[in-house]
Amino acid sequence: AGRLVRFPNPRQSKNSGGDGDGSNESNSNTSMSTEHKKSNEQQAMRTRVWLAHKLSGELVTEHDPSGRPSLLERLSRGGVGKPKRKNKGSSTMQIHLNPVGRLDMITEGLILITNDGKLKRELELPSNRLHRTYRARVHGLITLRKLKSLRNGMEIDGTYYKGMKVNLETNKGKHVKGGHTNSWLRITCVEGKNRQIRKTLDHLGLKVTRLIRTGFGDYELNTIPPGMAIEVPVKPLKSQKRRGTLVSPTSSQGGNKNKGPNRGPRSRNNRSRAETASPVEWIRYQ
């Protein structure tokens, strides 16, 4: 049912000392305007999260003095952080965008953006051990020894990198042989150290020719097109399942056995998420 609104009588004097509709309605309008403004301000301050598909060649920064492409500047132009409706009395304050973690300039893929600085810090804390998943195209000879080194962890120039979960991607159910041509690896780590994936692979003689982040905690890139972003519901840290210590396969054979049955449910989950995610509001590249 609609709400009955009483409009002031245009013939009623504004200075009337009686209990006419004019003075009461004026106070009512002022109260409604104040409540509406507070509601908009509260909506602007609520915790929000966007998933963005970073392009290769972009910097994850608000502004670059050299004029190089900036992810955050592009997202701001596309509408991220701006009020959805411009109502009278609504707050037009631009939301400060906080990227969760960083990707180097030529790495592409998933970047989380939030307006909540506290949430950003929680997601980045190494002690929370959120899983970061990447697809890496490498050039070089892939051997069992190299895969074992990645899974066990290694020290490079005085910096220790914890063991990572590494799988060689398959083609139609068959393992792709690691040779001197390009091969794809799926790597999951719990650290966000600077250029960790590139440094560890390069240390083993594997040159990364393309690197895409596909997951961060329970957030996934899925089918977000390159250069676009979507706002998603906030997932509390304690409820996220993709966190904690990684369980690496004890051997390459054991990993191969587990890979088949694990792949099925994961693909079904991806399909269900894709179906429930529609419709979406894309923020296009500007």
Active-site annotation, residues: 104
Whether 152 and 163 have beta carbons less than 8 Å apart is answered as yes
Candidates 215, 203, 217; CA nearest to 150 is 203
List the structure tokens of 159: 């910096």
263 C-beta neighbours (distance < 10 Å), count: 13
DSSP state of 70: B
Q: How far apart are CA 179 and CA 183, in angstroms?
A: 8
Candidates 136, 111, 138; CA nearest to 212 is 136
Three-class SS state of 72: helix
Three-class SS state of 99: strand
Which residues have C-beta within 8 Å of that of residue 40, sequence separation ≥ 6?
83, 87, 89, 90, 91
Phi, psi dihedral angles at 232 (to 5 degrees): -130, 160
Q: How far apart are CA 26 and CA 250, in angstroms?
A: 75
In angstroms, the first-to-last Cα distance of the chain is 42
Which residues have C-beta within 8 Å of that of residue 285, sequence separation ≥ 6?
55, 74, 78, 227, 228
260 C-beta neighbours (distance < 10 Å), count: 10
Omega prior to 265 cis, within 30 of 0: no
